[in-house]
Amino acid sequence: MKKPAIARARNSCCVRGAARDAGTKQQSAKSASLPSRATALIGLLAERFPNCFTLHEAKRSPLKINIAADILAALAGAISRRKLGYALSYYTHSNGYLAHMRAGAARIDLDGNTAGEVSPEHAGHAAERLTARTRNPAPRDLAKAKPPASKRITLADLREAAKRRDARP
């Protein structure tokens, strides 16, 4: 039995509306904050390579140089190079990771094995980034800071101001 034309049109509008709503949900997922998406990807890397990645910043060890190529090869195209690059950037720019970047510290590969050492140049760069962050507080911290206390005006200050006012021509 064939549905009347009006019912078919109504159903097609609903289907198009549902597709439009699904597109909106997909866009909102795309516009989700980049750090949260990077954290989610780091979580997946931590599940796949538990000896290399961790979600806890304080436990992050220096990674092997060019580890991205190893990850891409191990995952065989399951993740894009761009998304992996952003996640690794987020991971390696964290305070915990930078704190572990000391000259001579062991770098680790995907299996947790030693894969070189941190060079003095890399350690120096990490130390500079870390001290710059701690030296320059974030703007939101400055907003919470109290303004400097104003000087309390005394009777002597008022008399001095009155003398200056009277001395004007």
Please determine, for residue 118, whether its predicted confidence score (pLDDT) is greater than 90: yes
Whole-structure pTM value: 0.60
Domains of the chain: 31-138 (1.10.1710.10)
pLDDT computed for residue 12 by the predictor: 41
Confidence of residue 2 (pLDDT cuts 50, 70, 90): low
Q: Give CA–CA dist 110/50, Å, rounded.
A: 8
Residue range 35-56: mean pLDDT, rounded: 88
pLDDT computed for residue 113 by the predictor: 92
Confidence of residue 15 (pLDDT cuts 50, 70, 90): very low
Cα→Cα distances 125→33, 128, 129, 135, Å = 27, 5, 6, 15
